[in-house]
Amino acid sequence: VRLVESGGGLVQAGESLTLSCASSGFIFDAYLMGWHRQAPGKQREVVADISSRGVPWHRDSVKGRFTISRDNAKKMVYLQMNNLEPEDTAVYYCNANFNGARDYWGQGTQVTVSS
């Protein structure tokens, strides 16, 4: 199983980034796919997820700014992040979960937003 994130970087507040996660080694379209983040000194939190049927969920603090999407044919999941804020600075992780029983993580990609 592999989850490989890309697209992180250093941006200024108000700018945009798109994170991508390339997946392999499992039945992608059966899994709940998600993006989580962990800021220094804080617990990891879920940012957004999208069901196997394509139903998205976003945490309140990113609603209207972030959009999660998936492409089952390409086994990819994306996180479009607009109007970034310094509070969004964190390591962002791609996650694949199947009924809570199988849980896979990528290595993470750093997003840094300067004010």
- Residue 15 is predicted with a pLDDT of 98
The DSSP annotation for 12-71 comes to ETT--EEEEEEEESS-GGGSEEEEEEE-TTS--EEEEEE-TT--EEE-GGGTTTEEEEEE
Of 64, 93, 65, 58, give the one whose Cα is nearest residue 81.
65
Q: How confident is the model at residue 35 (pLDDT cuts 50, 70, 90)?
A: very high
C-beta neighbour count of 20 within 10 angstroms: 17
Percent pLDDT > 90 in the chain is 98
**Could you report the per-residue pLDDT of 78-102, keeping only the tens digit for each?**
999 999 999 999 999 999 999 988 9
- Residue 101 is predicted with a pLDDT of 87
**Could you report the per-residue pLDDT of 53-63, keeping only the tens digit for each?**
999 999 999 99
**Mean of pLDDT values over 15-22:** 98
Cα–chain center distance at 86? 17
